[in-house]
Amino acid sequence: MTPQLVVFFVLAALAVGGALSLIFQKHPIHSALSLIVVMVSLAGLYLLMGAEFVAAVQIIVYGGAIMVLFVFVIMLLNAGVEEHTSISKFAGFPGLLLAFALTGFIAATIARSTDSVQAVAQPGNMASTRDLSTMIFRDFVYPFELTSFLILVAVLGAIVLAQREKA
Amino acid sequence: MVPTNYYLVLSAILFGLGVLAFIFKRNIITIFMSIELMLNAVNLAFVAFSQAMHKLDGQVFVLFVIVVAAAEAAVGLAIIILTARNRQSLNVERVDLLKL
Amino acid sequence: MIDFLMAHGWLIVTVIKVALMMFIVLTVNAYLTWFERKLVAHIQSRWGPHRVGPHGLLQPLADGVKFLFKEDPTPAGVDRFVYFLAPLLSLALALTSIAIIPFGPNPLPWKILGQDVYLGILPPDVNIGILALFAITALGVYGVALAGWSSNSKYPLLGGLRSSAQMISYELALTLSVVGVLLIAGTFNLTEIINNQTSRYGILGWNIFPQFLGFICFFIAAVAETNRVPFDLPEAESELVAGFHTEYASFKFAMFFIAEYTSMITVSSLCAILFFGGWLSPFPPTWTWTYYLPTLILLPFGAWVIWDGIRYETIFGKIILPGVGAVMCVIAIALIAFPALNGFIQAPFWLLSKIFVFLFVYVWMRGTLPRLRYDQLMAFGWKMLLPVSIANVVFTSFAILRWGGIR
C-alpha cells in the first residue's frame, strides 16, 4: 500500500463523493459546490500523475472561471430548490438500471484488460511545461489559433444573447 | 505506482454519474453541470493515457477540451439566462413548447 | 520509535513547519492590524491605539479576545452550510498561499530527523510555483461570492457580487502582467526567478528595470484583487453598510479579516520575489561589508526602544519595552559574534524587509487615497489595465526576440 495508492484512493473517493453529492443535492448552489470539489480532486489526481501544468490550468480555468460563471448565474437567477413535477417514478427505475449497466460494462472491460495499456514505472520528467508548450506551438498551432477564434466568437455570442432587450 | 486501469475505472464511474445526473435532474443549470462532469471524466482518461504512453498529446488535448468547455459554458449559460427570462422557470420540463 | 520518526521524517518536519508557520502568520497578521491603525492614525494627525499596552502593542491581543467572546448570531433564513463555509474557505485559501513562498534558498545548517529544513513549507523547487499561487487566488473569489449570497440580505448580495466581479476582472490583468517576468526567467519556479535576477551590480539585475510597466500593472491589479483602498468599494462602510461581510459577526468576521491581511502579505512577497529580487541584496555581492547591515539596523533600533521604554509613562511599559529592546540588542550582537548565523540570516532579512516596505506602501495608500466608484473601477480594469498588460507582454516578447535573452 504505497503512499501514492493511498493518495489516489482518497482523491478518488472525494471525486466520487462530490459527483454523488451533485446528484442528490436539492439546491443548485450545493450541486455547484460539489462540482468544484470534484474538479479540485481531479486536479489533485493530475498532480499525482505528474501533469502539473494541466492541474494548475484545471484549477484556474475550470475551478476559478467556469464554475464562478455557474455560481454567478445561479445567484442572479435566484434558483431555488427543485420543485416536484409529475415525472413517472416507475420509468426512472429502468433508467437507473441501464446507467449502472453502462458504467459497469465500461469499468469491467477496463479493469479486466491488462495487456492493452501497460502501467508506467515512474513519472519521470515527461510533463515539463516547456515540452508541452513546444508541442502546442509547433505541432498543434492550427488548433490553437482556432480555439482562440472560438473563444472570441463565444464571447461575442454571450454578450449579444444576454443583453436586455431595448424596449 | 498507481496502475492506469484504476484511473480509467474512476473516469468511467464519473462519466456514469454524469449521465445519471443528466437524466434525473430537472434544473437546467444542474443538467449543464453534469455535462461539465462528463467532460472532466474524459479529461481524466486523456491524462491517464498520456502518462501511460509517455507522450504529451493527451495533455495538449486536455487543454483544448478545457478551452472548448469554457467557451461552451459561456454561450450555454447565456442561453439559459434567456430561457429563464422567457419561461420564468428553471425547470427543464417547462421548456416544452416549440415556440417560446 | 526512532526508526518510525526517521522513516516518516519528511512528513513530521512538514507538519511542524506548518504549525509554526501558521502561528507566525497569524501573529504577523495581528501586528499588521496594529501597524495599519497606528500608521493611518499618524497620517491623519492623531494617535492610534496607545493605551492598551506600551504604544498600543497589546491592542491586537485585546481585539482577539473581543472577537472570541462577542456574540455570534446567525441570521434567519441563511443557507447554513454555505454561510459557515464561506469564511472558512477564504481563510483556508489565504493561509495555503503562504506555503508556496520560499523565504530563503539555503536550508538550516543542521538536519532535523535526517531532512534538510528549508525556510518555507514547500521545498524551493516547485516547478509551477507562481501558477499554483494564481490557482489559489482564482479560488478565492468563491469565499466572497458565497458569503454575499448566503447572507440572505440585499446589501451583502450586492457587495458580494460586485466584489467577486471586481476580483475576476483584475485577475486577468494580474496574470498577464507577470508574463513578462516569466518570459525573461523562462520558468514558473519562484527560486529560479530570484536566481535569474542575480547580477554583478546587485540592484541593477532586478526585474523592476526591464519590467517597470509590468510591476505597475501587477501592483495595481494586486491591490484590486485584495479589495484594498482605492478599490475597496464592495466593503466600504459608508456605501454598502459593510459589503459582503455585513451579516458576519465576531469570529467569522475575524476570519475574513485575517484572510484579507494574509493575502496582502502574499501579494507583497510576490512583488518582492518577482520584481525586486526576492532575497537578493541590493548591493553587489562583492561588497561583503554590507553583511553587517542587519546588525547596523537592529542595534540602534534596540537602543532607541530601551531609551524610550525607560522614559515611558506606565510601569508596564517601563518593564516590557526595555526588555524588547534588550532582546534586539542581544540578537544584533549575536549576529556579529557568529558569522555563520549572519550569513544565513541575510536572505530572509532582505526578503522580509522588502515585504515590510510593500506592506507600508499598502497601508500608506489606505490612509491617503480616495475610493474609486464601482463603474470607474471596472472601466479602469478592463479598458486601461488589461490592454496595458497585454502591450507589456507584446513588447517584452519583441525585445527578447530582437536582442536575445536579456540574461
Is A61 domain-assigned? yes
Q: Kindly state the percentage of chain A with pLDDT values over 70.
A: 84
Cell digits for A83? Answer: 420543485
What is the three-class DSSP state of A122? coil
pLDDT at C46: 92
> Smallest CA–CA separation between A68 and chain C, in Å?
7
Is A4 domain-assigned? yes
Q: Rounded distance, CA A40 to CA C41, Å?
A: 43
Banded model confidence at residue A126, pLDDT cuts 50, 70, 90: low
Is A87 domain-assigned? no
pLDDT at B46: 94
Q: Rounded distance, CA C321 to CA C307, Å?
A: 9
C139 with A128: Cβ contact below 8 A = no
* Closest to B49 in 3D by CA, of A61, A9, A113, A146: A113
Q: Which amino acid is at C94?
A: A
Report residue C229 CA to chain centroid gap.
16
pLDDT at A122: 52
| Cβ neighbours, 10 Å, residue C343 | 14
Cβ-proximal residues to C96 (8 Å cutoff; 6+ apart), any chain: C136
Answer for the pair C178, C151: CB distance below 8 angstroms, yes or no.
no
Same domain for A69 and A9: yes
Residue of higher predicted confidence among A54 and B93: A54
Is B44 domain-assigned? yes
With touching defined as 3 or more inter-chain CB pairs under 8 Å, the answer for chains A and C is yes
Instruction: Count Cβ atoms within 10 A of the Cβ of residue C375 and give its class: 0-12 exposed, 13-18 middle, 19 or more buried.
Output: exposed
> Smallest CA–CA separation between B18 and chain A, in Å?
7
> Smallest CA–CA separation between B11 and chain A, in Å?
9
Same domain for A66 and A10: yes
Asked whether the CA dihedral C230, C231, C233, C236 is positive or negative, the reply is: negative
Q: What is the mean pLDDT of residues B23-43?
A: 93
DSSP A119: P
Answer for the pair C155, C137: CB distance below 8 angstroms, yes or no.
no
Residues of chain A in contact with residue C171, where contact means CB-CB under 8 angstroms, are 64
A59 with C139: Cβ contact below 8 A = yes
ipTM metric: 0.92
Cβ-proximal residues to C270 (8 Å cutoff; 6+ apart), any chain: C101, C130, C133, C218, C222
What is the three-class DSSP state of B91? strand
pLDDT at A89: 67
| Cβ neighbours, 10 Å, residue A160 | 9
In chain C, % helix, strand, coil (3-state, to 5) comes to 75, 0, 25
Residues of chain A in contact with residue B75, where contact means CB-CB under 8 angstroms, are 154, 157-158, 161
- pLDDT tens per residue across span A37-85: 999 999 999 999 988 999 999 999 999 999 999 999 998 888 777 666 6
pLDDT at C73: 83
Residues of chain C in contact with residue A76, where contact means CB-CB under 8 angstroms, are 161
Is A43 domain-assigned? yes
A28 with B27: Cβ contact below 8 A = yes
Answer for the pair C143, C93: CB distance below 8 angstroms, yes or no.
yes
Answer for the pair A40, A63: CB distance below 8 angstroms, yes or no.
yes
A147 with B32: Cβ contact below 8 A = no
Banded model confidence at residue B36, pLDDT cuts 50, 70, 90: very high
- Side-chain-facing half-sphere of A102: CA atoms under 13 Å: 16
Q: Kindly state the percentage of chain B with pLDDT values over 70.
A: 98
C35 touches chain A (CB under 8 A): no
A65 with B50: Cβ contact below 8 A = no
Is B33 domain-assigned? yes
Same domain for A74 and A1: yes
Q: Rounded distance, CA A36 to CA C143, Å?
A: 13
| Cβ neighbours, 10 Å, residue C221 | 26
Answer for the pair C250, C72: CB distance below 8 angstroms, yes or no.
yes
In the A/B pair of chains, how many CB contacts fall below 8 A?
231
Statement: residue A117 has pLDDT above 80: no
Q: Which residue of B has its CA nearest to A81?
A: B27
Region of residue C305 (left: phi > 0; alpha: psi -120 to 50; beta: else): alpha
Q: What is the CATH number for B20?
A: 1.10.287.3510
Residues of chain C in contact with residue A30, where contact means CB-CB under 8 angstroms, are 81-82
Report residue A124 CA to chain centroid gap.
26
Q: Rounded distance, CA C176 to CA C172, Å?
A: 6
> Which of A92, A143, A162 is nearest residue B24 as measured by Cβ atoms?
A92
- pLDDT tens per residue across span B66-91: 999 999 999 999 999 888 888 888 88
Cell 486501469 belongs to which residue? B5
CA angle C350, C121, B7 (to 5 degrees): 140
C382 touches chain A (CB under 8 A): no
- Residue B90 belongs to what domain range? 4-94
Beta partners for residue B91, in sequence order:
B27
Residue of higher predicted confidence among C311 and A119: C311
User: For all residues of chain A together, what is the average pLDDT?
Assistant: 85
pLDDT at A115: 55
A16 with B10: Cβ contact below 8 A = yes
C86 touches chain A (CB under 8 A): no
Is B29 domain-assigned? yes
In the A/C pair of chains, how many CB contacts fall below 8 A?
61
Cell digits for C334? Answer: 549575536
* Closest to C55 in 3D by CA, of C227, C305, C344: C305
Mutate to test the interface with B, among A1, A23, A142, A163 (most CBs of B within 10 A): A23
CA angle C117, C121, C123 (to 5 degrees): 65
pLDDT at C27: 93
Cβ-proximal residues to A114 (8 Å cutoff; 6+ apart), any chain: B5
pLDDT in tens, chain C (407 residues): 777 777 777 888 889 999 999 999 999 999 999 999 999 999 999 998 888 888 888 899 998 888 888 888 888 888 889 999 999 999 999 999 998 999 888 888 878 777 778 888 888 788 888 999 999 999 999 998 998 888 878 778 888 888 889 999 999 999 999 999 999 988 898 999 999 888 888 888 898 988 999 999 999 999 999 888 888 877 665 555 666 777 777 788 889 889 999 999 999 999 999 999 888 888 888 888 888 888 888 899 999 998 888 888 888 888 888 888 899 999 888 888 888 888 888 889 999 999 999 999 999 999 899 888 888 999 999 999 999 999 999 999 999 988 876 55
> Which of A35, A50, A54 is nearest residue B36 as measured by Cβ atoms?
A35
Is A98 domain-assigned? no
Answer for the pair C278, C272: CB distance below 8 angstroms, yes or no.
yes
Is A108 domain-assigned? no
> Which of B4, B23, B47 is nearest residue A51 as measured by Cβ atoms?
B47
Answer for the pair C160, A86: CB distance below 8 angstroms, yes or no.
no
Q: Rounded distance, CA C352 to CA C355, Å?
A: 5
Cell digits for A45? Answer: 489526481
Residue of higher predicted confidence among A113 and C273: C273
DSSP B27: B
Cell digits for B7? Answer: 484511473
Chain A: touching chains (3 or more CB pairs < 8 Å)? B, C
> Which of A30, A63, A71 is nearest residue C138 as measured by Cβ atoms?
A63
- At residue B95, φ and ψ (nearest 5 deg) are -90, 70
Burial C17-54 (b: 16+ CB within 10 A, else e): beeebeeebeebbbebbbbbbbbbbeeeeeebbeeebb
Indicate the number of domains in chain A: 2
Cell 485584495 belongs to which residue? C226
pLDDT at B62: 95
Cell 538550516 belongs to which residue? C108
Cell digits for A160? Answer: 449579444
- Residue A136 belongs to what domain range? 128-167
Q: What is the CATH number for A62?
A: 1.20.120.1200
C85 with A128: Cβ contact below 8 A = no
> Smallest CA–CA separation between C297 and chain A, in Å?
41
Tell me chain C's radius of gyration from C-alpha atoms.
23
Report residue A16 CA to chain centroid gap.
12
Region of residue C313 (left: phi > 0; alpha: psi -120 to 50; beta: else): alpha
Q: Rounded distance, CA A140 to CA C216, Å?
A: 34
Answer for the pair B34, B18: CB distance below 8 angstroms, yes or no.
yes
Mutate to test the interface with B, among A35, A52, A86, A113 (most CBs of B within 10 A): A35
Cα–Cα distances in angstroms (integers) from residue C251 to residues C67, C69, C71, C403, in the given order? 5, 9, 9, 55
Is A120 domain-assigned? no
pLDDT at C360: 95
| Cβ neighbours, 10 Å, residue B85 | 13
Residue of higher predicted confidence among A18 and B20: A18
Q: Rounded distance, CA B53 to CA B63, Å?
A: 18
Tell me chain B's radius of gyration from C-alpha atoms.
17
Beta partners for residue C115, in sequence order:
C112
pLDDT at C239: 58
Q: Rounded distance, CA B42 to CA C252, Å?
A: 39
pTM of the model: 0.91
pLDDT at B77: 93
Cell digits for C119? Answer: 525556510
Is A39 domain-assigned? yes
What is the three-class DSSP state of C112? strand
Q: Rounded distance, CA A54 to CA C247, Å?
A: 38
Residues of chain B in contact with residue A45, where contact means CB-CB under 8 angstroms, are 7, 10, 44, 47
